[in-house]
Structure 1
Amino acid sequence: MSRLSLDMTNVRIPTATYRLQFNKNFTFRQAREIVAYLHYLGISDAYASPYFQAGAESLHGYDITDHNKFNAAIGSREDYDAWVAELHAHGMGQIVDFVPNHMGINDPQNTWWQDVLENGPSSLYAPYFDIDWRPLKTDLHDKVLLPILGDQYGRVLERGELQVRFDGGSFSLTYFDHVFPIAPGTYRYILELALENLAEFRDEDFYAEFQSIRTALEYLPRRTETNPGRIKERAREKEIIKKRLERRCAEAPQVQRAIEKAVETINGHIGDPRSFDRLDELLNAQSYRLAFWRVAAEEINYRRFFDVNDLAAIRVELPEVFDAAHKLL
């Protein structure tokens, strides 16, 4: 027998399939309700569209944000198990439409991509994506181009459409529905302003603790770090710093107010172009560069699914990436 021959005795071969398009409008529970009817029609296997975690409003499921979680809009693990049990009770099976080679990157639920945006080449997940960290344009070195703006960057900036937010000890940037992380090492642009706002409390213990947090940021491994040990150190220490900052704000309301005032200053004031200089400086220090959507064809530096900017390819040919994307399936 040839080395490539297969033992077909235990292989299930579908004889008739029926496509089920799962989304918030058609769930596991609803699929369970029609199993008996599909069986009556002679269907041997349900052909399921992707039902893994995807964009919140996704109707197709191909913009997966986590291959290892069910889409909550479609149902829970219990709902899924009940549907599968119903299929088996009728001697039926399922074919799963799985998307292992790309991910939806518009939704902040994609923790791999968010980590890359926060940490750049030093992200634990940077090797998972096919990103050119050294493109021809030098201003894109160690950055990911994000062509998501509806207009030229300067115009968007001065219209106040880019806003920094502070929550739970960490900073983020919003642009309408988009949410991007701010690199912890660049928190100093905001915290230095906050320290100025706290000048009258120099003799308080919380002021010294706040200064200590600011100092800890200076010792954080840089986002261009590629040494595995230093990358792990950065991943660990940045989260500790965030927790310290969150705790300090909870214990000293003065710190929370000082940060909120600093964020207000950073965000600038419409009608005063120079007031956005600090925000521009902060954004230039990130591991991503926001750009007008029209520049995507010429400047984009990550591999996409065809030319769809919202779908970033992942390097599923790497065993560690393959394994990471197939923990559930």
Structure 2
Amino acid sequence: MINPIPSATYRIQFREGVTFERIEKQLRYIKELGISHLYLSPIFRAPAGSTHGYDVLGPTVVDPSLGGIEGFERLAQSAHTTGLGLILDIVPNHTAFVLENQWLADVLRHGQASEYAPYFDIDWSRGPLVLPFLPEPIGQMISLGQLQARSGYLEFGETRVPLSATGPQAAQSSQDLEDLLRAQHWRLRHWETERDGITHRRFFNVTSLIGMRVEDPDVFAATHKLILKLVRQGLVDGLRVDHIDGLSDPKGYLERLSPALPDTPIWVEKILVGQETLDPAWKTVGTTGYEAARLIARLLTDRDGIARIDTHWRNYTGLGENFREALTTAKRDILQFDLSAELHQLVNLADAALADDGSVEAGPEALREAICELLICMPRYRTYVDAKGASGEDKSLIDAIVDQAASRLRSSRVVRRLGEHIKQPVTDSDMRFAIRLQQVSGALLAKAQEDTAGFRWSRYLAANEVGAEPDEPTVSDAEANAFLASRRASEMTLTSTHDTKRSEDSRMRLVAISHHADAFDRLVRDADRLAPAELSPRWRWYIVQSVLALWGEDPHTLADRLHQHNQKALREAKLESFWTKPDEQIESAADRFTDALLSEWRDRTPGELSAIIETANALSLAQVALKCLLPGFPDIYRGGEGAFFALTDPDNRLAVDWDVLAKLAAGAEGFARHKAALTRLLLALRRDEADFFDKALSHVQQDHGLTLRRALNGRALQLTFGKETEGHALWRSGAGRSALAIAWA
């Protein structure tokens, strides 16, 4: 029988050649590693060429490219026979906003009369559904004869948009074509108009993903029919809900999903910020564990070293702003550009909410200013106001946000009235405004912090991570122990995912610079002579960290991987280069600096580099130990049981060499083998001592090193890192500041 709560999970990332059949062949290896459950990325049909599967076309068909329903059934049955459970990642928030989406195609043909129109979060009050698909403005395409209406479709290039079922199906002239287009349930626009012209709810700023209205019981039923069937048939043993903060009512969603699948554990992808905790009323067994990854990195970061890193970084780059200032600037940039369409919509929704409020008169500019400040001052992803109003905690948070926002405005009247309407929605207009504000605040924080300020503020990239705070790289004993005391055995503990900005071992390379702050500063300053003049010190400091994070990887692909990351970092930072307007000069300069640094280090490996890597290897082993021994259960991202050095996607989604992984247990000495051996040892201990790990109390202490102690009924497990210990140990490696020992009695 499969235990509903895992002792350890193994994350499988489908697509890019990874199919059900391919994973079925690895089940024995995964089981022998010490894993209890496979943790699967989305399996439902996605657009052709999808590299990750989160852009589902609709969760009603298992993707034929993965093996279809028959292949999934075989995988599930084989996994259960092997003794492995299955956790399935589901995506209730959105589907792909593409013409392959048959539900969407029906809406394009029939408009609001389509049975699928209520499925999508579309603002029909603003007119026909906007499709920002055109490569050029529509007038230009019409005049050049690049649009053709025939056989029930409007065609341009290889794109075919369904025409209205009740109107003409062809056009004989440009005027006929313009009349035909005006009669559609949709409006084609140039892709650049997505900033302020869309009429559907997006995933963050990704226009090609459209929000689903799963708060509607009929939509929930339609989008979860197959999911529920797979669980009830015994093929799936647990669910992971992607991006739950994008939903209109996360708590209400779980209250519908959980009773439909009694006794089935449900995890949620929820980013907890600062001291935020998961609402105990939510019907979930826990989060997917980004907050645990943050704790581990903070415990392993050298406090004194971070202070020196900060001094070196500021002296070298000349940057004086703190991270909160950088984040506020990034939020304003994102609202002005990436999320300007959402801001326009919020202004309209706020205007409707205040329409009958006689205590305030608000024009569009006053509303825009107030909404911007409310969003910028939100320190978390969102609040959770529903039809009952705000909880006590959320009321206090909203009051604090309103006070801070009011202090930045010439007049506080509008923002204070909006705050009251948010805390206690009375009308439908109030509710619509509150819901959308909460959905946008999460998108804003994610885009501004993870994908903008996290690339701009380059001090210590180990802390620029999903769910982490760049200006809080260390943790006190009191905060760490409070976190451990609140943690359930059913909580997941991760160190790498398909979304982390750096993989676990690359992150430890960066944590290691806090232990060698002066040595890293010398590395950067020595590399300075290799940098093109047009590359700012900010990016030089960043790139040296990136090269360090991947150093030692396959030299045939290393430069290309770093070039791809340079491009992403520069464009996500949105300072000199942009996805919509790349600056080839600055991107080329970054690549030339990267290549020169790689060549320099290959010809003469600096002693500082060797010292940092030696410490990083020890830190990686300590990270494995903490992940496996902390309260909760560990999740191994595919291939992460061995050496795993990667930067942000797509680098962290490269193919896994299963043959290399299988040979680690019997291979030559080295970091990868030690990591795999420690992983196997601790996963076996967790499996054999499940009761201890479920119930044992935990305590950490940072005193000339790190100690984690867990105890239950006279039995104790102790991990020490960074200081020598005596006596028998279950595992011992390293010496001095890199010493790691695990004792079990």
- Identify the TM-score tier after normalising by the shorter chain: 0.5 to 0.7
CA distance in structure 2 between the partners assigned to 1:174 and 1:94 by the alignment: 43
Q: Which of residues 130, 134, 137 in structure 1 aligns to 2:121?
A: 130
CA contact (8 A) 1:148 1:291 kept: yes
CA distance in structure 2 between the partners assigned to 1:321 and 1:85 by the alignment: 30
Question: Per the alignment, do residues 33 and 10 of structure 1 end up closer, same or farther by CA in structure 2, a change over 3 Å counting?
Answer: closer
Structure 1 runs, 4 residues or longer, greater than 6 Å off: none
Q: TM-score, normalised by structure 2?
A: 0.30
Q: Corresponding residue for 2:73?
A: 81
Amino acid across the alignment from 1:161 = Q
CA distance in structure 2 between the partners assigned to 1:317 and 1:11 by the alignment: 31
Q: Which string of whole-angstrom CA distances, capped at 9 and with x for unpartnered residues, describes residues 90-137 of structure 1?
A: 1101111110111002142x12111111111111111111211122xx
CA contact (8 A) 2:2 2:85 kept: no
Shift of 1:150: 1.6
Q: Which of residues 64, 67, 70 in structure 2 aligns to 1:72?
A: 64
| 1:63 and 2:63 correspond | no
Question: Per the alignment, do residues 46 and 10 of structure 1 end up closer, same or farther by CA in structure 2, a change over 3 Å counting?
Answer: closer
Amino acid across the alignment from 2:58 = D
Question: Per the alignment, do residues 63 and 94 of structure 1 end up closer, same or farther by CA in structure 2, a change over 3 Å counting?
Answer: same
Shift of 1:163: 2.6
Shift of 1:11: 6.0
CA distance in structure 2 between the partners assigned to 1:11 and 1:67 by the alignment: 26
CA distance in structure 2 between the partners assigned to 1:186 and 1:47 by the alignment: 48
CA contact (8 A) 1:23 1:51 kept: no
CA contact (8 A) 2:121 2:201 kept: yes
Q: In the TM superposition, what are the counterparts of 1:177-326 in structure 2 within 5 Å? A: 177-187=158-168, 190=170, 266=171, 275-326=173-224
CA distance in structure 1 between the partners assigned to 2:35 and 2:150 by the alignment: 51
Shift of 1:51: 0.9
| 1:164 and 2:149 correspond | yes
| 1:27 and 2:19 correspond | yes
Q: Corresponding residue for 2:138?
A: 153
Q: Which string of whole-angstrom CA distances, capped at 9 and with x for unpartnered residues, describes residues 34-88 of structure 1?
A: 1111111111111111010110111100111121101111112221111111100
Q: Corresponding residue for 1:12?
A: 4
Q: Corresponding residue for 1:198?
A: none
Counterpart secondary structure, 2:166: helix
Q: Which string of whole-angstrom CA distances, capped at 9 and with x for unpartnered residues, describes residues 212-236 of structure 1?
A: xxxxxxxxxxxxxxxxxxxxxxxxx
Shift of 1:10: 8.8
CA distance in structure 1 between the partners assigned to 2:46 and 2:64 by the alignment: 9
Q: In the TM superposition, what are the counterparts of 1:97-136 in structure 2 within 5 Å? A: 97-108=89-100, 110-135=101-126
CA distance in structure 1 between the partners assigned to 2:14 and 2:2 by the alignment: 29
Q: Which of residues 155, 158, 166 in structure 2 aligns to 1:174?
A: 155
CA distance in structure 1 between the partners assigned to 2:69 and 2:89 by the alignment: 18
CA distance in structure 2 between the partners assigned to 1:158 and 1:310 by the alignment: 27
Counterpart secondary structure, 2:133: strand
Shift of 1:177: 3.7
Counterpart secondary structure, 2:58: strand
Question: Per the alignment, do residues 40 and 161 of structure 1 end up closer, same or farther by CA in structure 2, a change over 3 Å counting?
Answer: farther
CA contact (8 A) 1:101 1:316 kept: yes
Q: Corresponding residue for 1:43?
A: 35
CA contact (8 A) 1:47 1:96 kept: yes
Equivalenced residue count is 227
Question: Per the alignment, do residues 323 and 83 of structure 1 end up closer, same or farther by CA in structure 2, a change over 3 Å counting?
Answer: same
Amino acid across the alignment from 1:133 = W
The structure with the largest strand share of the pair is 1
CA distance in structure 2 between the partners assigned to 1:186 and 1:45 by the alignment: 53
Q: Which structure has the larger Rg? A: 2
Counterpart secondary structure, 2:59: strand
CA distance in structure 2 between the partners assigned to 1:176 and 1:307 by the alignment: 25
CA contact (8 A) 2:2 2:83 kept: no
CA contact (8 A) 1:24 1:74 kept: no
CA contact (8 A) 1:65 1:107 kept: no
Q: Corresponding residue for 1:251?
A: none
Shift of 1:17: 1.5
CA distance in structure 2 between the partners assigned to 1:316 and 1:17 by the alignment: 28
Amino acid across the alignment from 1:162 = L
Shift of 1:276: 2.2
Q: Corresponding residue for 1:201?
A: none
Amino acid across the alignment from 2:212 = I
Amino acid across the alignment from 1:184 = A
Q: Corresponding residue for 2:264?
A: none
Shift of 1:277: 2.2
CA distance in structure 1 between the partners assigned to 2:94 and 2:52 by the alignment: 14
CA distance in structure 1 between the partners assigned to 2:108 and 2:11 by the alignment: 36
CA contact (8 A) 2:2 2:84 kept: no
CA distance in structure 2 between the partners assigned to 1:184 and 1:317 by the alignment: 29
Q: Corresponding residue for 2:83?
A: 91
Amino acid across the alignment from 2:81 = A
If asked which structure has higher relative contact order (CA below 8 Å, sep 6+), I would say: 1
Q: Which runs of no fewer than 5 residues in structure 1 stay unpaired? A: 1-8, 136-140, 191-265, 269-274
Question: Per the alignment, do residues 107 and 46 of structure 1 end up closer, same or farther by CA in structure 2, a change over 3 Å counting?
Answer: farther
Q: TM-score, normalised by structure 1?
A: 0.65
CA distance in structure 2 between the partners assigned to 1:319 and 1:33 by the alignment: 39
Shift of 1:307: 1.5
CA distance in structure 2 between the partners assigned to 1:88 and 1:11 by the alignment: 11
Q: Which string of whole-angstrom CA distances, capped at 9 and with x for unpartnered residues, describes residues 232-291 of structure 1?
A: xxxxxxxxxxxxxxxxxxxxxxxxxxxxxxxxxx3x7xxxxxx42222221121100000
CA contact (8 A) 1:24 1:73 kept: no
Shift of 1:149: 1.2
The structure with the largest helix share of the pair is 2
CA distance in structure 2 between the partners assigned to 1:177 and 1:11 by the alignment: 50
Q: Which runs of no fewer than 5 residues in structure 2 stay unpaired? A: 228-745
Question: Per the alignment, do residues 79 and 42 of structure 1 end up closer, same or farther by CA in structure 2, a change over 3 Å counting?
Answer: same
Of 314-323 and 296-305, the range deviating more from structure 2: 296-305
CA distance in structure 2 between the partners assigned to 1:133 and 1:88 by the alignment: 47
CA distance in structure 2 between the partners assigned to 1:158 and 1:67 by the alignment: 40
Q: Aligned Cα RMSD in Å?
A: 1.9
CA contact (8 A) 1:55 1:107 kept: no
CA distance in structure 1 between the partners assigned to 2:62 and 2:148 by the alignment: 32
CA distance in structure 2 between the partners assigned to 1:300 and 1:83 by the alignment: 41
CA contact (8 A) 1:106 1:178 kept: no
Shift of 1:24: 5.2
Q: Corresponding residue for 1:256?
A: none
Amino acid across the alignment from 2:160 = V
CA distance in structure 2 between the partners assigned to 1:146 and 1:85 by the alignment: 42
Amino acid across the alignment from 1:144 = L
Amino acid across the alignment from 1:291 = R
Question: Per the alignment, do residues 161 and 41 of structure 1 end up closer, same or farther by CA in structure 2, a change over 3 Å counting?
Answer: farther
Q: Which string of whole-angstrom CA distances, capped at 9 and with x for unpartnered residues, describes residues 281-310 of structure 1?
A: 211211000001121121211111111111
